[in-house]
Chain A
Amino acid sequence: MSIPTSTTAERKPRSNNLRNAGGGRGTRSGPWPVVVLCTLIAAFSLLPLGYVATMTANAGWDTIEKLVFRPRVGELLFNTVALVVITVPLCVVIGIAGAWLVERTRLRGHKAWAVLLAAPLAIPAFVNSYAWVSAIPSLGGVFGGVLISTLSYFPLVYIPVAAVLSRMDPALEQSGSSLGLGPWKVFFRVVLPQLRLAAAGGALLVSLHLLAEYGAFAMIQFDTFTTAIYDQFRSTFNGAAANMLASVLVLFCLLLLLGESKTRGNARYARVGSGVQANPPRLPMGRLEIPGQLGLAALTVLALGVPLFHVVRWLIVGGPGIWTGSALATALLQTLGYGLAGALVTTALAFPLAFLAVRHPGPVTKLLEGANYISSSMPGIVVALALVTISIHNVPAVYQTAVVLVAAYALLFMPRALVNLRAGLAQAPKELDEAAQALGKPPLVAFLKVTLRLTAPAAAGGAALVFLGIVNELTATLLLAPNGTQTLATEFWSLSSEIDYTGAAPYALLMILLSAPMTYLLFAQSKKAAGQ
Chain B
Amino acid sequence: MKTWFNKTVLSRTALTAIAGVSVLALAACSGGTAPAASEGASGSATDAITVYNAQHESLTQSWVDAFTKETGIKVTLRNGDDSELSNQIIAEGAKSPADVFLTENSPAMTQVENAGLFTGIDAKIQSQVPAEYRPSTNKWTGIAARSTVFAYNKSKLTQAQLPKSIMDLASPEWKGRWAASPSGADFQAIVSAMLELKGEDATLSWLKSMKENSKAYKGNSTAMKAVNAGEVDGAIIYHYYWFGDQAATGENSNNVALHYFKNQDPGAFVSISGGGVLASSKHQANAEKFLEFITGKAGQTILQTGTSFEYPVASDVAANSKLVPLKDLQAPKVDAAKLNSQKVTDLMTEAGLL
Contacts and interface: CB of A to CB of B under 8 A. Distances in A.
A381 interface: no
B349 interface: yes
Contact of A497 (B18, B22, B92, B222): B222
B127 interface: no
Interface stretch (A69-77, A110-118, A362-370, A421-429): A69-77
Q: Is the interface of B mostly helix, strand, loop or mixed?
A: helix
A348 B22 contact: yes
Contacts of A312: none
A69 to B, nearest CB: 12
A31 B216 contact: no
Interface in B80-125: 80-81, 83-88, 90-92, 95, 97
A342 B25 contact: yes
Q: Among A219, A235, A340, A498, find the residue whose CB has the most chain B CB atoms closer than 10 A.
A: A235
B202 interface: no
Interface string A350-376: 011001000000000000000000000
A138 B229 contact: yes
Contact of A483 (B78, B90, B219, B354): B78
A70 B350 CA distance: 8
B323 interface: no
B32 interface: yes
Contact of B97 (A33, A241, A400): A400
B57 interface: yes
A444 interface: yes
Interface in A54-68: 67
B349 A499 contact: no
A165 B44 CA distance: 67
B252 interface: yes
Nearest to B8: A33
B345 interface: yes
B84 A233 contact: yes
Nearest to A491: B57
A291 interface: no
A95 to B, nearest CB: 30
A29 B218 CA distance: 52
A510 interface: no
A161 to B, nearest CB: 35
Contacts, number: 185
Q: Among B21, B32, B188, find the residue whose CB has the most chain A CB atoms closer than 10 A.
A: B32
Given A26-B3, A499-B221, A483 B25 contact: no
Interface stretch (B9-17, B140-148, B153-161, B162-170): B9-17
Nearest to A335: B32
Contact of A235 (B12, B29, B83, B252): B83
B225 interface: yes
B28 A340 contact: yes
A334 B34 CA distance: 12
Q: Among B81, B87, B218, B231, find the residue whose CB has the most chain A CB atoms closer than 10 A.
A: B218
Contacts of B5: 443
Contacts of A488: none
Interface residues of A, number: 65
Contacts of B188: 235
Contact of B29 (A31, A227, A402, A499): A402
Q: Is the interface of A mostly helix, strand, loop or mixed?
A: helix
A338 B15 CA distance: 21
B31 interface: yes
B290 to A, nearest CB: 15
A499 to B, nearest CB: 4
Contacts of A351: 14, 18
A484 B61 CA distance: 12
Contacts of A338: 29
Contact of A499 (B79, B87, B222): B222
B174 interface: no
B7 interface: yes
Contacts of A231: 183, 218, 354
B217 interface: yes
Contacts of B50: 483-484
Given A482-B33, A484-B76, A34 B81 contact: no
Contacts of B298: none
B205 interface: no
A221 B87 contact: no
A447 interface: yes
Given A234-B81, A234-B183, A483-B50, A444 B6 contact: yes
Contacts of A494: 57, 79
B12 A485 contact: no
A319 interface: no
A392 B91 CA distance: 7
Contacts of A344: 21, 24-25
Given A67-B349, A72-B349, A444 B91 contact: no
Given A352-B14, A443-B10, A494-B79, A221 B218 contact: yes
B199 interface: no
B354 A484 contact: no
A444 B76 CA distance: 46
Contact of B354 (A221, A228, A405): A228
Contact of A403 (B26, B222, B229): B26
A304 interface: no
Nearest to B341: A235
B83 A37 contact: no
B354 A402 contact: no
A513 B145 CA distance: 42
B352 interface: yes
A315 to B, nearest CB: 16
A484 B78 contact: yes
A70 B87 contact: no
A499 B10 contact: no
Interface in A389-421: 392-393, 396, 399-403, 405-406
Nearest to A327: B61
Nearest to B85: A237
B176 interface: no
Q: A-B pairs with the 5 shortest C-beta distances? A: A237-B87, A341-B25, A402-B29, A31-B7, A33-B11
Given A400-B97, A406-B22, A443-B10, 16 more contacts: A33-B8, A33-B11, A72-B353, A138-B231, A219-B218, A221-B218, A235-B345, A340-B25, A341-B29, A342-B25, A351-B14, A444-B13, A498-B56, A498-B221, A499-B219, A499-B222
7 contacts: A337-B28, A345-B22, A351-B14, A352-B14, A399-B95, A484-B50, A498-B56
